[in-house]
Structure 1
Amino acid sequence: MFKYSFHWRQVWQALPDMLWGALITLEIAALAMILGTIIGVLLALAKRSNNRAFGAAASVWVEIARNTPALFQIYMVYFGLGSLGVRIDSYWALLLGITFNNAGYLCETFRGGFKAIPETQTRAARSLGMSAGRAMWHVVLPQMFRVVFYALTNQMVWSILMTSLGVVVGLTTDLTGVTQELNVRTFRTFEYFFAAAVLYLVIAKLFTLSARLLAARLFRY
């Protein structure tokens, strides 16, 4: 017979700590997304270039990021580099691991976005006297980011959820880490992890809604 006793009062008392952990989660996800976007654009450009070395290096990065578990990538940063004498804090190990994973996925997203921009756009910009770099910065990149905007939104949600892997490398300040610490002290596993799951759901939905509202404002024409 089901006799579980729910202790939600402890969850309410711990809610400020969990909300602070949620802020750390958002911080890591946002930084990993920004860095992953920058690297992803560079990787996509490398794969589009005529330089075989750059293209091969970008392909290796993408293949590893997309075809190995994200958990292994975080392990390699934290434990792998640690075995070589490079000690990295669990916060930075998680951030670098998610950034590596994001860059690999975003590279292919951006490569598809670049293909969606007609070559005539670049030629028109060059005919107006723009250099190749200025044409890329002022003409191609803005249109490309518009094409891949919703894919970027999905990747950000994935980054938020991926921060939960930080607990395996000892991170205790993010939402999952705080929840695990509370669970260890009280053994109220169901209550705390249910509350954490709700917070992850709310964060993801709020971000998705915000992104849609932003898209409706930015892409009206």
Structure 2
Amino acid sequence: MQYQFDFSFLATTWPRFLHGAWLTIQLATIAIVLGFVLGAVCALARTNGTPAMRRLVGGYVEAIRNTPLLVQIFLVYFGLSSLGFQISAELCAALALTINIGAYSTEILRAGIESVARSQVEAGECLGLSRLQVYWHVVLLPAVERVYPALSSQFVLLMLASSVTSQISAEELTAAANLLQSETFRSFEVYIVVALVYLALSFLFRGAFWAVGRIVFVRRRRLGTSL
């Protein structure tokens, strides 16, 4: 039996793929930005906070890293609904993705922070820098620079994992594909297109992270270090 490929449906349905891809970019970008901020705060709390703060952040990290993303999305979506909050599926998806990537960012950034020698912190204090300046210039920025490749790879994985938000009717790329294949009955062709779009998005995000790294981390650019 020979299968006949037919991509003619793309002539009329490509705007739906485009809309889904755009929503995927939006969800991933929001989660990456907010998740990075959350991860930075939690990483500082886990390395320099009180014992209670360290235990609290540790519990959050372990809870997220040892449960499936889909379950976390369901907990946010159905949990908020049960509490009486009427929030769109897209907003719930962004919130769940932020919570998820925040935990992974915490551990990645914690490794970077712990790699900063105590002597560098003491040197910053001797120069008269404030506590905030020490944390920003001496601890956080060098830490982010050291773990940036791992961090950017995790962010790309988050973008790809955003496909599971289709399970709560967030109209991102995979959700659009699910609807189209049920209408066109060309499942193979639809998911080939989706795979290619995700591949393009992966290169887009990696290129964006590379450009950000070249701009932010001047020392790496001067040394020619890979980002």
TM-score normalised according to structure 1 size = 0.92
Alignment of 1:1-221 (within 5 A): 1-2=1-2, 4-172=3-171, 174-212=172-210, 214-215=212-213, 218=217, 219-220=220-221, 221=223
Decide whether the 8 Å contact of 1:11 with 1:195 is kept in 2: no
Taking the aligned partners of 1:162 and 1:32, their CA distance within structure 2 comes to 12
The structural deviation recorded for 1:216 is: 5.4
User: What is the rounded CA distance, in whole Å, between the counterparts of 1:122 and 1:99 in structure 2?
Assistant: 30
Distance in 2 (CA, whole Å) between partners of 1:126 and 1:189 is 61
Q: Secondary structure at the match of 1:8?
A: coil
Tell me the secondary structure at the aligned position of residue 88 of structure 1: coil
Amino acid aligned to 2:52 = A
TM-score (norm 2): 0.90
User: d(CA) in 2 for partners of 1:22 and 1:5?
Assistant: 27
Asked whether the 8 Å contact 1:62–1:104 carries over to 2, the reply is yes
Distance 2:66 2:89 in 1: 23
Task: Tell me the CA shift for residue 50 of structure 1.
Answer: 4.4
Higher mean C-alpha displacement, 157-166 vs 14-23: 14-23
Provide the alpha-carbon RMSD of the alignment: 1.7
Unaligned 5+ segments in structure 1 are none
The answer to which of 77-86 and 31-40 deviates more is 77-86
How far off is 1:91 after superposition? 0.4
- Counterpart of 1:203, as a letter, is L
Superposed CA offset, 1:111-152 (max 9, x none) = 100011111221111111111111111222111110111011
CA offsets 1:132-181 (integer angstroms, 9 cap, x no match): 11111122211111011101111111111111111100112x11122122
Unaligned 5+ runs, structure 2: none
> Using the alignment, how far apart are the partners of 1:67 and 1:73 within structure 2?
11
Indicate if the aligned counterparts of 2:77 and 2:92 stay in contact, CA closer than 8 A.
yes
Separation of aligned partners in 2, 1:12 and 1:117: 54
